[in-house]
Amino acid sequence: MRRRLSKVRAWAEAQSREKQEENPLKILSDSLIYALSQFCTNWEDGNKEDKNLKRIKEKVIKDFSGDSILFEIGCYLYFRIDLWHIKNEMQELREKTVGFLINQFLTVFSGSLNLKDNEDILQNRLNLYGKLVREYENPEEEISFYLNQLVIRTSNNTLPQIHNFADDFPVIIIGIIEETILKAIIKSFNDVMIPICLKNVEKFYEMLSKDG
């Protein structure tokens, strides 16, 4: 199935074929953006499906394959990376490493989305997820709700925007089957790709430690 043209996916594929630079942090950054570019790619739930359900799945993947959704999912990914540093008490390294990774992320997307305030949008998401972690003993359900709603808003490559989550964030409703499929795609990325990305961050630090 032909997906919407994605400059970020094309960039990530090109980088994966390039000779790796010596800078380990740049290599890590490229690997994270490549992992991000795999969102909603070759997703299968393993179930036998009738033609109607297959058609709905194809439409969901088509509607949510643009760079807007990759930016939204990317905000969530870098929140997880930042949170990993906090949980592992790596504050000093966090500022340098996460700062570099986020700058690279914003640079790549500045060439694909006409977002003048992409840094502010990212900070808006980091503030939201961070607030949920601080205020809820078990915040994952709340994080999942907001992530799903933010992703829904990127349908047909609709550009992300800054939201006032406290006062004006109405729930967007789509078809039950469509929402179920979309949630499954997000969950798959969260369960599989996020741990891989965090493991790559861990390996980066292990390599630095060995190099002295």
Q: Is 164 helix (H, G, I), strand (E, B) or coil?
A: strand
pLDDT, average across residues 10-16: 88
What residues does 168 pair with on adjacent strands? Answer: 164
Q: Residue 211 corresponds to which tokens in the numbers above?
A: 């190099």
Condensed to tens digits (0 to 9), the pLDDT of residues 91-110 reads 888 989 999 999 999 999 99
Q: Are 3 and 70 in contact (CB under 8 A)?
A: no
* pLDDT > 90 in the chain, percent: 70
CA proximity to 135, closest of 161, 162, 166: 166
Q: What is the mean pLDDT of the chain?
A: 90
pLDDT confidence of residue 162: 95
Q: Please state, in angstroms and rounded to a whole number, the distance separating the CA atoms of residues 78 and 99.
A: 10
Give the global pTM.
Answer: 0.92
For the chain, helix, strand, coil in percent to 5 are: 70, 0, 30
**1: pLDDT confidence band, cut at 50, 70 and 90?**
very low
Condensed to tens digits (0 to 9), the pLDDT of residues 36-95 reads 999 987 656 555 567 888 888 889 999 998 999 999 999 999 999 999 999 999 988 898
How does DSSP classify residue 156?
G
CA distances from 142 to 52, 70, 111, 130 (A): 32, 21, 32, 11
